[in-house]
Amino acid sequence: MDEIVLLFSYGTLQLRSVQLANFGRELKGRPDAMVGWHRAMVEITDPEVLRQSGETHHPIVSPSGDPADEVPGMVFEITPEELIAADSYEVADYKRILVTLKSGADAWVYVKA
């Protein structure tokens, strides 16, 4: 791989089925967390996303304003092309932003739009 970007997932992008469908490979990650965020659930209606994840409700995060709040997940090293593939997977309820994780790493993550 040439250029590497970090992608943080607290939800279905951690699933092998979703990774294979979107990236053509299983990603290797490391645990990390988003500090000052809280997690809720959103109903998914996109048939392709439902097929890939097998889940009707996906987690979604919003800022909580409380530094004691944490959302755990995994950080994956992916290519810029794979990041574009992840953009295509995520439904309109999400937007992609850059955040600094608990470890200090800067990673892309999908949050409530």
pLDDT tens digits for 9-29? 999 999 999 999 999 999 999
Q: Determine the straight-line distance between the first and last CA of the chain, rounded to whole angstroms.
A: 30
pLDDT value, residue 34: 98
Q: Which CATH superfamily is domain 5-112 in?
A: Gamma-glutamyl cyclotransferase-like (3.10.490.10)
Closest CA to 90 of 61, 67, 68: 61
Average pLDDT, integer, range 75-102: 96
User: For the whole prediction, is pTM greater than 0.85?
Assistant: yes
Q: Can you give the residue ranges of every domain in the chain?
A: 5-112
Is the per-residue pLDDT at 1 higher than 60? no
